Structure 1
Amino acid sequence: MSSSPPARPLWRGRALALVGIVLFAFSLRSAVGSLSPLLDHVTQDFAVPAPVVGLIGTAPPVCYAVAGLLTPALERRFGLERLVVAAMAIAVLGLVARSLAVDSLTLLGSTAIIFAAVGTGNVLLPPLVKKHFPDRIGIMTTIYSTTMAVSTFLPPLVAVPVADAASWRLSLGLWAVFAAVAVIPWIALLVRERGDGGAGGAGGAGGDEDVESANPRVFGRLWRLPLVWALTVIFVVSGTLAYTSFAWLPTILVQTAGVSNAQAGTLLSLFAFMGLPASLAVPVLVARYNAIAPLFAVAVGSGLAGIAGLLLAPSAAPWLWVALLGIGPLFFPLTLVLLGLRSRTHEASVALSSFVQSIGYAIVSVFPVSIGLLHDATDGWAAPLWVLAVVVAAAIPAGFVIARPHTVEDEWERRHGAWS
Structure 2
Amino acid sequence: MQSEKRADTGADASGERMGTPTVAGRLSPAFGVLAVVLLAINLRPGATSLGPVLAEIQQDLGMNAAVAGMLTGAPGFGFAIFGATAVALGVRVGLAAGLTMGAIAAAVGLLGRSVVGSVPLFLLLTVVAFAGMAIGNVLVPAYIKSRYPSRIASVMSAYTVSLAIGATSATMLSAPIAHLPGSSWRVSLGMWGVVAAVAAVPWLVLAVRERRRRASGEIGPRVSGSVFAVIRSRKALALALFFGMQSMHAYIQFGWIAQLYRDGGLPPTYAGAMVSLLASLGIPAGFVMPWVAARVRDPRPLVVALFVFMVSGYLGVWLAPTTMPWLWAILIGLAGCAFPLAMTLITARTRDLHITTQVSGFTQSAGYLLSAAGPLLVGVLLQVTGSWTAPMIFLLGCAVVFLIAGLLAAGPGFVDDELAQASAVDAGAR
Q: Which of the five TM-score ranges fits, normalised by the shorter chain?
A: 0.7 to 0.9
The AA in structure 2 aligned to 1:219 is: V
Of 340, 362, 375, 2:369 maps to 362
Of 235, 252, 277, 1:244 maps to 252
Matched, 1:295 2:310: no
The AA in structure 2 aligned to 1:221 is: R
Q: 1:8 to 1:177 in 2, by over 3 A?
A: closer
Of 45, 57, 66, 1:30 maps to 45
Q: 1:10 to 1:289 in 2, by over 3 A?
A: farther
Aligned to 1:200: 213
Q: 1:18 to 1:221 in 2, by over 3 A?
A: closer
Which range moved further: 250-259 or 228-237? 250-259
Q: 1:173 to 1:144 in 2, by over 3 A?
A: same
Aligned to 1:221: 232
Aligned to 2:239: 231
Over aligned residue pairs, what C-alpha RMSD do you find?
4.3
For 2:223 and 2:317, locate their aligned partners in 1 and report how far apart those are by CA, in whole Å.
Answer: 42
The AA in structure 1 aligned to 2:194 is: V
The answer to whether the 8 Å contact 1:59/1:365 transfers is: yes
The answer to whether the 8 Å contact 2:239/2:409 transfers is: yes
Aligned to 1:93: 108
CA positional deviation for 1:377: 3.9
Instruction: Give SS of 1:290's match.
Output: coil
Q: 1:90 to 1:228 in 2, by over 3 A?
A: closer
Aligned to 1:176: 193
For 2:353 and 2:27, locate their aligned partners in 1 and report how far apart those are by CA, in whole Å.
Answer: 29
Aligned to 1:145: 160
Instruction: Give SS of 1:111's match.
Output: helix
The answer to whether the 8 Å contact 1:279/1:330 transfers is: yes
Instruction: Give SS of 2:268's match.
Output: coil
The AA in structure 1 aligned to 2:248 is: T
For 2:416 and 2:30, locate their aligned partners in 1 and report how far apart those are by CA, in whole Å.
Answer: 40
CA positional deviation for 1:63: 2.5
Of 256, 268, 274, 1:259 maps to 268
- Residues 96-115 of structure 1 correspond to what in structure 2 (within 5 A)? 96-99=111-114, 108-115=123-130
Aligned to 2:399: 392
For 1:414 and 1:207, locate their aligned partners in 2 and report how far apart those are by CA, in whole Å.
Answer: 29
Which range moved further: 272-281 or 113-122? 272-281
Q: Could you state the TM-score of these two structures normalised by the residue count of structure 2?
A: 0.74
Aligned to 2:71: 56
Which range moved further: 320-329 or 381-390? 381-390
The answer to whether the 8 Å contact 1:52/1:369 transfers is: no
The answer to whether the 8 Å contact 1:241/1:328 transfers is: no
For 1:403 and 1:6, locate their aligned partners in 2 and report how far apart those are by CA, in whole Å.
Answer: 26
CA positional deviation for 1:412: 8.1
CA positional deviation for 1:147: 1.6
Of 306, 311, 314, 1:304 maps to 311
% identical aligned pairs: 29
For 1:172 and 1:242, locate their aligned partners in 2 and report how far apart those are by CA, in whole Å.
Answer: 23
The AA in structure 2 aligned to 1:172 is: L
For 1:76 and 1:417, locate their aligned partners in 2 and report how far apart those are by CA, in whole Å.
Answer: 25
The AA in structure 2 aligned to 1:242 is: A
Of 328, 337, 360, 1:330 maps to 337
The answer to whether the 8 Å contact 1:300/1:328 transfers is: yes
For 2:418 and 2:204, locate their aligned partners in 1 and report how far apart those are by CA, in whole Å.
Answer: 46
The answer to whether the 8 Å contact 1:101/1:107 transfers is: yes
Q: 1:377 to 1:170 in 2, by over 3 A?
A: farther
Instruction: Give SS of 1:405's match.
Output: coil
For 1:229 and 1:85, locate their aligned partners in 2 and report how far apart those are by CA, in whole Å.
Answer: 29
Q: 1:81 to 1:298 in 2, by over 3 A?
A: closer
The answer to whether the 8 Å contact 2:105/2:129 transfers is: yes
C-alpha offsets along residues 83-133 of structure 1, whole Å, 9 cap, x if unaligned?
434322322232234445768766654433321110012223245446766
CA positional deviation for 1:330: 2.1
Matched, 1:117 2:132: yes
- Which stretches in structure 2 are left out of the alignment for 5+ residues? 1-8, 14-20
Q: 1:174 to 1:386 in 2, by over 3 A?
A: farther
Aligned to 1:20: 35
For 1:213 and 1:323, locate their aligned partners in 2 and report how far apart those are by CA, in whole Å.
Answer: 42
The answer to whether the 8 Å contact 2:274/2:326 transfers is: yes
For 1:65 and 1:250, locate their aligned partners in 2 and report how far apart those are by CA, in whole Å.
Answer: 26
Instruction: Give SS of 2:285's match.
Output: helix
Aligned to 2:178: 163
The AA in structure 1 aligned to 2:132 is: A
The AA in structure 2 aligned to 1:258 is: P
Q: 1:230 to 1:88 in 2, by over 3 A?
A: closer
Q: 1:91 to 1:411 in 2, by over 3 A?
A: closer
Aligned to 2:18: none
C-alpha offsets along residues 228-276 of structure 1, whole Å, 9 cap, x if unaligned?
4443332221010122334445565566633239x72x54443333223
Instruction: Give SS of 1:199's match.
Output: helix
The answer to whether the 8 Å contact 2:177/2:188 transfers is: yes
Of 181, 184, 202, 1:185 maps to 202
The answer to whether the 8 Å contact 1:54/1:368 transfers is: no
The answer to whether the 8 Å contact 1:299/1:328 transfers is: yes
Aligned to 1:371: 378
For 1:388 and 1:211, locate their aligned partners in 2 and report how far apart those are by CA, in whole Å.
Answer: 41
Q: 1:99 to 1:209 in 2, by over 3 A?
A: farther
Aligned to 1:74: 89
The AA in structure 1 aligned to 2:75 is: P
The AA in structure 2 aligned to 1:360 is: G
Alignment length (residue pairs): 406
